[in-house]
Every structure is written in structure tokens, then in C-alpha cells.
Amino acid sequence: MSKADRVQVICLGLSALDQIWRVDRLFAGRSEKIKAAGYGTLGGGMAANAAVTVARLGAAVAFWGRAGNDAAGQEMRSAFGAEGIDVENFRLFPDGRSSVSGIIVDSSGERQIVNFR
């Protein structure tokens, strides 16, 4: 399939940087410490996840959105580029703050999320 024959998609919306901890169980609602079985940093947000999925399926994809010109914004921009996603209209604003989430996921897939925008 030539580049001209590829489906072209624009994904417009939220991009977040997700920090994910995998645990055996979620917090019980009081002060406690839980040891993580795993940790990872991934891109998140519905439009951003859609852009990555569509790119991996072979379409030409552009992501249109905004974030802060901070470490999280730079990391998201770099991750899009690594997936072959056009980021010309993913704007990073000097005084902006990127959306970042802390996500705790238990062994059954239930989760607790803290988001900062």
C-alpha cells in the first residue's frame, strides 16, 4: 500500500501522561502503604490512545491537541513521534501544564485514578 492509499485520520482531544502502578489490591480507604508489583509510564487520554491505535493499524494519523511545554508534554510529543504520528498541531504552551494521572490497578483490573490538569 502506498502512502497515498493509506487512510488518513485526525484525532483531536486530550493527551495525558499516565503513571501506572500495578498492585495486588487497591487501597482500603485509610492511610496505608502498598508495595507495587509493577510500574510504567504511558500516554493516555481517549484521543491520544485512539491516535496510537490507528497508527499501529497502518493509517496516517495526526494528533491535534495541547499540553504544557513541560517534561510531561515533551514526553507525550516524543511518544507520538515514535509511533509515526504527525504532531504539527499538538501544541505545547510555555506557561501551560500538561495533564498527568496516577493510576493504581489491582490484579483484577479495578483501578483508582488521581488526575492533575
pLDDT the model gives residue 1: 56
pLDDT of residue 4: 63
Distance (Å, rounded) from C-alpha 107 to C-alpha 26? 9
Instruction: Name the pLDDT band for 3 (thresholds 50, 70, 90).
Output: low
Q: Give tens-digit pLDDT for 6-38.
A: 789 999 999 999 999 999 999 888 898 999 999
57 residue type, one letter? L
Considering the entire predicted model, what is its pTM? 0.80
Give the closest residue to 117 by CA, choosing from 13, 11, 17: 17
Q: What is the pLDDT of residues 41-77, one digit of tens each?
A: 988 899 999 999 999 999 999 999 999 999 999 999 9
Position 2 scores a pLDDT of: 59
The position carrying cell 497508527 is: 55
Identify the structural domains of the chain with CATH numbers, from first to last. Answer: 3-116 (3.40.1190.20)
